[in-house]
Amino acid sequence: MEPKATRFGYSEALLMLGEKDDRIVALDADLAKSTSSARFRDKFPDRFFNMGIAEQNMVDVAAGLALSGKIPFASSYGVFVTGRAWEQMRTMVCYSKLPVRIAGHAGVSVGADGATHQALEDIAIMNVLPNMHVFSPCDYYETIKATMAAAYVDGPAYIRFGRAPIPIITEVDSPFEVGKATIMKKGSDVTVVATGTMVNEALIASADLANFGVSVEVVNLSTIKPLDGETILNSVAKTGCAVTAEEHQITGGIGSIIASFLSLNLPVPLEMVGMGDRFGESGEPFELLKHFHCNSCEIVQACLRAISRRQTSRVVL
Amino acid sequence: MRDIAQLEKVGRQIRRDIIQMTTLAGSGHPGGSLSATDLMAALYFEIANVDPSDPMKEDRDRVIYSKAHVTPLIYSVLARRGFFDPELLKTFRKLGSPLQGHPHIHCVPGIEMSGGSLGQGISIALGTAIAGKMDRAPWRVYCLMGDGELQEGQVWEAFMAAAHYKADNLTAIIDKNGLEIDGTTKDVMDIDPLEKKLEAFGWHVIECDGHDYGQILYAFDQAKQTKGKPQAIIAHTVKGKGVSFMENNAEWHGKAPNQVEAEKALLELAD
């Protein structure tokens, strides 16, 4: 199948949800075409609310709808729906544990709009909130499943999707479970924990390294919160070193998240691929991923560094 | 026939609770609680369709607090209306008490939603009102707002959206006491002319003396009858109302009276 942007998986799921559950409502902040929530608007006009360019009000209106038995999905650019409305999410939605679902496109692969529109902090600021669920699916099919599942989790949720077409790497019937990481490829030398667009890059890196006799295990972290510690521990216990890969700031992103988890549970050499404390810029999506060192080449190098550090530390031990 | 004398009695009881709760806690917000007391007493004892024996009944009117720091008032009016035992008021702001400094959703019967971060309650109320309209529900939504919090930009996003969605089941009650922490709203950040601004945003505006029960009840009646537009009751009030040394003094926004001050206040509020 042709590459497809994950944002369309979001609206595909909304359509299916809307069909079977009258409580599903959607809101957008004048970006219905871009987020693709317009498809829901066209099919269920009475259950769609364009709130205009006013994300703070949108999120709290969604909270009010949730209070009254609706299941609201509010979308915009990832930067604005998580950042502009962060305190609304914190104090109203998360503190009250309301079933508000927010969604947006994120990462440098948002592309030519540049740094202002490229959410690279959204995982960090959503992950820190108690009661929150954070989904970062890796392709079109998985975004459908994550969105469908998000509708019925206990409490609020954020779904991070993308704007650029990316390869489809899962099957229609691949399993998806909230809070469960999936092993995309088994391996024994190093664990790569990747999320979103970087899962495919990790698979490419894994194939490249296989040519040199290095066996990589690729873990798809499609739910970032709650974290599937068990799957990560089992993998890392086997490989003895790990790499994280994300289209997000390493600080506060899955780099930090996996580092704190492993340092408490199973300290091993860990390398991190992602944005290094800087803003993005305009460009073509994949050109940007390469420019900002978020691609398979970086993952290959990070794997080699992690393996080398593991061997060194074994000598020391 | 509405019993104004009875409402005035309830108002004095709530005001005594406010003084006692803040004194016992050693903190809290007496000023804005006292200014909105008569508005909430009228709403809960005469206007709103609420039932303490069935606090979550489907057709209840929803009351959302946007100026949610007035928890002494909120908890007292709910307790006195019968939602929970007034004895619990003594635990206000203590560790482990359901009566948090700012309310948490469903912490006690009658509390619909968390609150405390200013400027957000009106959006919550709007979302609730939209849900009510979707379901063609008979209930209404009331939102208690302060005048200082109208400085938050989100409030105006909500005002715009409420008129856009013709939320005529939504009534904002604006406690216009003219004071905020750093002084008068006029000096800190002027919100006037408020009536004209709200009308320009598509709201039906009703003004009243927020300490005159006859006027308050009439304002609520007017609001209920309005079709096609959300309504704002701009209630002109006195911060600290009922306690001579607290009236019109911004210092009492977030300060608790000491024992001596409390005794003086309670004398003034006696039946």
- Determine if the pTM surpasses 0.90: yes
Region of poorest pLDDT, from A40-54, A256-270, A301-315, B183-197: A301-315
Kindly state whether B185 is in contact with chain A, defined as any CB-CB distance less than 8 angstroms.
no
Domain with CATH 3.40.50.920 in chain A: 182-316
Mean pLDDT of chain A: 97
Give the per-residue pLDDT at A126: 98
**How far does the CA of residue B183 sit from the closest CA of chain A (Å)?**
26
What are the backbone dihedrals phi and psi of residue A7, each rounded to the nearest 5 degrees, phi first?
-60, -30
Distance CA B176, CA B157 (A): 20
Q: Which among A46, A57, A65 is the nearest to B161, CB-wise?
A: A57
Identify the active-site residue in A55, A121, A217, A246: A55
Give the per-residue pLDDT at B1: 59
* pLDDT tens digits along A118-129: 999 999 999 999
Give the per-residue pLDDT at A317: 45
Buried b / exposed e across B92-124, counting CB within 10 Å, b at 16+? bbeeebebbbbbbbebbbbbbbbbbbbbbbbbb
Rounded mean pLDDT of A154-171? Answer: 97
Give the per-residue pLDDT at B167: 98
What is the distance of C-alpha A20 from the center of its chain?
A: 26
* Cα radius of gyration (chain B): 17
**How far does the CA of residue B153 sit from the closest CA of chain A (Å)?**
9
* pLDDT tens digits along B196-248: 999 999 999 999 999 999 999 999 999 999 999 999 999 999 999 999 999 99
Q: Which among B117, B128, B157 is the nearest to A91, CB-wise?
A: B117
Closest CA to B157 of A277, A51, A119, A27: A51
Closest CA to B109 of B91, B83, B88: B83
**Cβ–Cβ gap B132/A56 under 8 Å:** no
Q: Which among B104, B105, B161 is the nearest to A61, CB-wise?
A: B161
Q: Which CATH number covers residue B138?
A: 3.40.50.970
Domain with CATH 3.40.50.970 in chain A: 7-161
Rounded mean pLDDT of B174-185? Answer: 97
Q: Which domain holds residue B99?
A: 4-268
Alpha helix stretches (DSSP H) within A26-158: 32-35, 38-43, 55-67, 78, 86-87, 122-127, 140-150
Strand partners, B206: B233
Q: Which among A52, A61, A69 is the nearest to B130, CB-wise?
A: A61
Distance CA B174, CA B181 (A): 17
CATH superfamily of A7-161: Thiamin diphosphate (ThDP)-binding fold, Pyr/PP domains (3.40.50.970)
The owner of tokens 């992602």 is A274
Distance CA B74, CA A251 (A): 42
Three-state DSSP class for residue B50:
coil
pLDDT bracket for residue A313 (50, 70, 90): confident
Set of chain B residues whose Cβ sits within 8 Å of the Cβ of A98: 105
What is the distance of C-alpha A288 from the center of its chain?
A: 18
Closest CA to A165 of A301, A274, A7, A33: A7
Report domain A182-316's class.
alpha beta
Query: Does pLDDT of B28 surpass 60?
Result: yes
Known catalytic residue: A55?
A: yes
| In contact, B215 and B228? CB cutoff 8 Å | no
Query: Does pLDDT of A315 surpass 60?
Result: no
Count up the domains in chain B and report the number: 1
**Cβ–Cβ gap A70/B116 under 8 Å:** no
Query: Does pLDDT of B130 surpass 90?
Result: yes
Q: Which amino acid is at B199?
A: E
pLDDT bracket for residue A311 (50, 70, 90): confident
Set of chain A residues whose Cβ sits within 8 Å of the Cβ of B113: 63, 67, 92, 96
Rounded mean pLDDT of A201-209? Answer: 98
pLDDT bracket for residue A68 (50, 70, 90): very high
Q: C-alpha distances in angstroms, B74 versus A114, A212, B160, B256?
A: 47, 69, 27, 16
Locate the chain B residue with the closest alpha carbon to A67.
B128
**Cβ–Cβ gap B131/A69 under 8 Å:** yes
Distance CA A162, CA A106 (A): 6
Give the per-residue pLDDT at A201: 98
Residue A148 CB: number of other CB atoms within 10 A?
17
Locate the chain A residue with the closest alpha carbon to B161.
A51
Residue B2 CB: number of other CB atoms within 10 A?
13
Query: Does pLDDT of B160 surpass 60?
Result: yes
Closest CA to A178 of A132, A235, A218: A132
* pLDDT tens digits along A108-159: 999 999 999 999 999 999 999 999 999 999 999 999 999 999 999 999 999 9
**Cβ–Cβ gap B134/A47 under 8 Å:** yes
| In contact, B100 and B115? CB cutoff 8 Å | no
Distance CA A25, CA A45 (A): 10
